Structure 1
Amino acid sequence: MRRIRIFFLTVVCSVVFAGAAAAVPPSGAGTYSDLVGLFEDFLAYKAPSAWNANFNDPDAPDHGLVDYSPPAIAKRRAELTELRARLDDMNVAEWPIAQQAEYLAVRAQFDAQAFLLEVSQPWARDPGFYADQLLRITFTELPLAGEDKAMFERQLAAVPAIIEAAKQNLDDPAGDYAALALHNLTTADGVGHGHPYRAEPPAGIIGWYEDLRERARGLHPELMPAIDAAHAAAADYRDWLQDNMDSFTAEAGVGAAQYDWYLKHAKLLPFTSDELIVLSNREWDRLYSFYALAQHRNRDLTDLTPAKTEKDYQKRIDAADRNIREFLVREEIITVPDYVGELDTNGPFITRPQGLNFWEQVQFRDPHPDHLHAVIPGHRFDGLLEDHNDHPIRGRITDGVRAEGWGTYLEESMMRAGVLDEYAQVEELIYLFGIFRAARVPADVGMQRNEMTVQEAVDFMRSKTPWLDENVARVDAEIYLRRPPGYGIGYTIGNFQMRGLLADRAAQLGDDFVLKEFHDDFMAAGRLPISLIRWQMTGMDNEIRDFWETEPIPE
């Protein structure tokens, strides 16, 4: 089946990319308004592909399951080819830079979708694609009534159908993917993933069905047959994976040539995967040496210790949030719109029998590193600004390297701008975050190029990162192997791009450079790939010239 799909990939790509001009913007007939309309059509086309089940429509056939059978995927390929023909027939050469950048960002979305259909194919290659969909419904708070209860019943009824679809569609599973799915079905890892708190976490997805069953027994006895059927289906999936594990011999990564294609065409990154490794290794050297120097400077200070109570932890969060917000305004770092209120925090207080994991080791000592990255002015702040961006293209694209690069950039850059002047030891925690993210890059590249197994990636990251535990490293490896390629590298490489853009713009403007204006301009550009934002902000096109060339996905 894999050989058949590769053959079909070559045929489809020759159609998708036929006639596209090399190295120059297209000079077709379509207007910018046509691009906006096409992007709307593309989003409508793309919408159902992320998850296997849609429970919102009670009249949807087959429990609302999205069809991932070979005929359905062939139909989606044909539809994408038709949309792509419209995209290639745009008169982009006559548009201003900002609109040309939007065209490339939209085209990258098309290329990412083509790669999903032709190479990644999680519905055919990743048993976890189906296992993931079984978990969230077990978190449902009981009791239920009305439409909430009806929705829950539809979700439960879909579980056996999801497992049946898995058995039908998984014709080329990768061994590492199957092992990860089996682990998630049966094992509590102590990392979290937004799970409700339990003093003793249930053992994987199947354990959460047992937790649900115990909670429903006295509150909803009428639901017990459906819950039992869903639990039995999850257990059956575990048994099916165990029985067939020896036959799951496909490689999990996409391969070196395909990965480099994806970096260029879908991520619009001006680096090859070999260059990513060189960059990240040098970044690891820099960060670890600075970490050692910070430890020496702080050697006579009392060690930071993790919060022991929820009250103490919340006090530290409040102090970090207050310090960061006051700093952003006082030092004129970035505009904070009036609609930005409380943004909560990224890590709840929790006690675990096995002790703190890596993230908690840092976060419970001091929340500043993660608060900068994930709350303000990082992800939550960033996402809120995007929610208020009504641009028909820029307000609806989120590039992962842009999002994670911005968050990672904020950690060390805000420290150097002075946010931690009264928190000397937190510098060490900032470096620990950066060290881990730099270690991710060779691991991510290695897994995607099939040069590392998941366990080898885990061992590599742990060897390079203080405090990193097995569970967090395994979850990281799983996330970045199973997401579309290029996400795990986004933190460190996006940070490189951010620092490069800051340097380019400061050198370009000289004495007229204003940091707040730089950050505001960057945020106003939306969450397009950073290479496009750099082109728009500086006029420098050296990083984007090659992106006009369209090439077929390698076999």
Structure 2
Amino acid sequence: MRLFLALPITALLLAGAVPVPVAHAQPQTAASDTGMPAEYADLIALHDELQAYMVPGFTAGVVLDSGARVGEVYADALMAEKLAGLDAFEARLAAMDVAAWPRAAQVDFLAVKSILNGYRFNLEVLRPWKRDPGFYLDPLMRVAFTEVDEDGDDVTALRARLRSVPPMLAAARANLTEVAGDFADLALHNLENSDGVNHYHPYRAVPPAGIIGWYDDLLERARAQRPEIVEEVLAARAALVEFRDWLRADRAGMTAPAGVGAARYDWFIRHVRMIPISASEMVTLATREHERMTAALALLRHRNRDLPPIELSQSTEEQRAKIAATDRIVRDWLVREEIITIPDFVGELGSNTPYIERPTGPNFWEQIQFRDPIPDHVHAVIPGHRFNAVLAARDTRPIRGSYSDGGRAEGWATYLEEATMLAGGTVHSPRADEFMMLFGIFRAARVPADVYMQHNRWNVREAVDFMRAKTEWLDEDVARVDAEIYLRRPPGYGVAYTIGKLQMDALLADRASQLSSDFVLKDFHDQFMASGRLPIALVRYEMTGLDDEVALFWTTPPIPPADQ
């Protein structure tokens, strides 16, 4: 915990043989950090071969789009063959003598190691094609979103996908032999109920009732605009109803745990996400962060007690104007105060929260965004996620250009919230500081929810109740959608925000201490972004040369057995 305890207390990888440990468990810092050794080409080759080997990966949507048969792709024999085939990749990686490599090459080596560990964990532990009905349902919502008022490839592809739905769901029923109870309940809910948040859904004044409801929506549009596809829509919808009825009938026997268990969770956090602390340490740190930010919110509200409240937007036009003004203010501040370089190729990046009128009123995110968009604008737009994506799209490095770590993405974006406040980016709107704290409070509350669901101590209902009790304005729908994400994704995504933010704080402290009066914030941020979307512990090693954290990653022990 060195990295974190140095701070004041008040301050989507997817994922038996025993992996072969790397030959030089703790390589020393190379004399030169420039240039790559000849053997680096072998690492690139291994990386590329590994990615090709795992196609179609662990996303049923990839199979749906490829036209392959789900029952064949996810057959037990093929999955067992894939798992056994990882041994050869691990042996090749272990044979690489990386001790004399420059730090940048060592970091890439560890990144490939994390990818390989993630594939093993998915094949050996997560196995969503056997445990999670939602694995097959998730891509079907996107099918129903397709517009049918245009000619060409989109409609042709839609018809192919629709024809794939009945055999895909029939194969799913055969594959799903170890279904977790929470996964079954979430699938049943999502089949017939709007999630109430509707992230990235096409707008409907009344959101369709779940996945089946979206196929009703597609059916209505097909009857009006594309009668030739009606029979295919009806067949796909009937397959969804049959799948729902099967889940209901067999639900009593679906009792497997949804979480991976405590020991396996810690293995994944360390050897796939490459976070150098344990789950219990993360819960302690997040609890302190929740307390710190709750106290800070009280102080900020006292500071701002004589200021008028910021009112909610009342129309699309008003919200658009707020977003446009916020974007100008943020971009001007980033440049004027020399916070980070904004390359000329970065154009308009849009926004993350459209204006929506809900019968139940604004949800948690909208309660904040419809008042002042700046917390989510710096997190999700610039210089957060969308800005990050534009830079990443131009990264042609063979390993880093295709790597995207959730802890890096969310840690950076969450760091930007309080960093913007402390560096003066909210002086135009003092009450926005309160909203920054509310965001941070919710993110800290996610950590125990993520950990304890994966430890099988809490179910989804208990996680939702905990987060709502700890977070002002948090509604049922946002809390449930968050809990589902953190339970159904590979472990540790829910902790990525707060723990990644703390890693960013610590990295900033390390670099400022090293450089002293030579430290320049803009250079720090630019160098961090240039490192790529790698786990923050790896970026720290490359930027600072401090190897206490990466020392934990060179040797990979076997995945622990399931908790008893």
- Which piece of structure 1 moves more, 258-267 or 78-87? 78-87
Measure the CA separation in 2 of the matches of 1:30 and 1:247: 55
Q: Which residue of 1 aligns with 2:44?
A: 36
2:293 paired with 1:287: yes
My pick for the range that moved more, 43-52 or 369-378, is 43-52
Aligned with 2:99: secondary structure?
helix
Q: Give the distance between the partners of 2:95 and 2:171, measured in 1 at CA.
A: 38
Partner of 2:389: 383
Kept in 2, the 8 Å contact 1:65–1:158? The answer is no
Corresponding residue for residue 203 of structure 1: 209
User: Is 2:84 the partner of 1:78?
Assistant: yes
- Structure 1 stretches of 4+ moved >6 Å: 55-58
Q: Does the Cα contact within 8 Å between 1:454 and 1:477 map onto a contact in 2?
A: yes
- Any conservation in 1 of the 2:453–2:463 contact (CA below 8 Å)? yes
Query: Is the 1:48–1:66 contact (alpha carbons within 8 Å) kept by the matching residues of 2?
Result: no
1:165-314 to structure 2, matched below 5 A, reads: 165-314=171-320
> What are the equivalent positions in structure 2 for 1:363-382 lying under 5 Å apart?
363-382=369-388
1:67-466 aligned within 5 A: 67-466=73-472
Q: Is the 8 A contact 1:55 1:154 kept in 2?
A: no
Q: Residues of 1 paired with 2:301 and 2:127: CA distance?
A: 46
**Aligned with 2:378: secondary structure?**
helix
The offset of 1:255, in angstroms, is 0.2
Residues 134-154 of structure 1: per-residue CA shift (max 9 Å, x gap) = 111111112242322221110
Shift, 1:30, TM fit: 8.7
**2:30 paired with 1:23:** no
Letter in 1 for 2:516: G
Secondary structure at the aligned position of 1:94 is classed as coil
Residue identity opposite 2:427 in structure 1: D
Q: Is the 8 A contact 2:21 2:557 kept in 1?
A: no
Q: Does the aligned pair in 2 maintain the 1:56–1:151 contact within 8 Å? A: no
Contact 2:181 2:258 in 1 (8 A): yes
Query: Over residues 143-192 of structure 1, what are the superposed CA-to-partner deviations in whole Å (9 max), with x where a residue is unaligned?
Result: 24232222111010011112112101101000001000111101013201
| Partner of residue 17 from structure 2, selected from 13, 16, 20 | 13
Q: Secondary structure at 1:92's aligned position in 2?
A: coil
Are 2:478 and 1:472 aligned? yes
In 2: Cα distance, 1:51 partner to 1:389 partner: 24
Counterpart Cα distance in 2 of 1:254 and 1:533: 28
1:3 equivalent in structure 2: none
Identity of aligned residues (%): 53
Q: After superposition, what is the alpha-carbon deviation per residue over 1:360-392, rounded to whole angstroms, capped at 9, x for unaligned? A: 111111110000000000000011111111111
| CA separation of 1:416 and 1:199: change in aligned 2, threshold 3 A | same
Matches of 2:436 and 2:426 in 1, distance apart? 10
Q: Which amino acid aligns with 2:105?
A: Q
Contact 2:364 2:475 in 1 (8 A): yes
**Quick check: 2:503–2:536 contact (8 Å CA) kept in 1?**
yes
Match of 2:513 among 473, 483, 507: 507
Q: Can you list the C-alpha shifts for 1:206-254, whole angstroms capped at 9, x where unaligned? A: 0000111111112111211111000001111111111111001010000
Q: C-alpha deviations, 1:450-498, integer Å up to 9, x for none?
A: 1111100000000000000011000000001111101110000000000
- Give the CA deviation at 1:47: 3.6
Rounded Cα–Cα distance in structure 1 between residues aligned with 2:230 and 2:71: 23
Q: Which residue of 2 aligns with 1:487?
A: 493
Deviation at 1:526, TM superposition (A): 0.6
Q: TM-score, normalised by structure 2?
A: 0.93
Aligned position for 2:6: none
Deviation per CA, 1:317-366, whole angstroms, max 9, x where unpaired? 00110000000100000010110000000111111112111111111111
Q: Does the 8 Å CA contact 1:102/1:394 hold for their aligned counterparts?
A: yes
Q: For the residues of structure 2 that align with 1:479 and 1:245, how far apart are their CA atoms?
A: 21
Matches of 1:177 and 1:270, distance apart in 2:
29
Residues 282 and 193 of structure 1: CA distance in aligned 2, closer, same or farther (over 3 Å): same
Q: Does the residue aligned with 1:484 lie in a helix, a strand or coil? A: coil
- Asked whether the equivalents of residues 426 and 433 of structure 2 are also in contact (C-alpha less than 8 Å), the reply is yes
Give the number of aligned pairs.
Answer: 538
- The 1-side partners of 2:181 and 2:423 are apart by 46
Offset of residue 55 of structure 1: 7.1
Asked whether 1:544 is paired with 2:550, we answer yes
User: In structure 2, do the counterparts of structure 1 residues 480 and 22 end up closer, same or farther at CA, with 3 Å as the change threshold?
Assistant: farther
Q: Please tell me whether the aligned partners of residues 53 and 65 of structure 1 are also in contact (alpha carbons under 8 angstroms).
A: no
Instruction: State the partner residue of 1:527.
Output: 533
Letter in 1 for 2:316: E
Cα contact 1:258–1:553 (8 A) shared by 2: yes
User: What residue is the counterpart of 1:6 in the other structure?
Assistant: none
Report the counterpart of residue 60 of structure 2 in structure 1.
52
- Rounded Cα–Cα distance in structure 2 between residues aligned with 1:111 and 1:423: 45
CA contact (8 A) 1:213 1:228 kept: yes
Q: Distance in 1 between matches of 2:210 and 2:94?
A: 46
Show structure 1 runs of 5+ residues with no match: 1-11
Amino acid at match of 2:245: D
**Structure 2: unaligned runs, 5 residues or longer:** 1-15, 29-36
Alpha-carbon distance change, 54 to 495 in structure 1, aligned in 2, over 3 angstroms: closer
**Is the contact made by 2:64 and 2:161 (CA closer than 8 Å) also made in structure 1?**
no
How far residue 76 of structure 1 moved from its aligned partner, in angstroms, is 1.2
Deviations 1:386-413 (A, max 9, x none): 1111111111111110010000000000
d(CA) in 1 for partners of 2:291, 2:244: 42
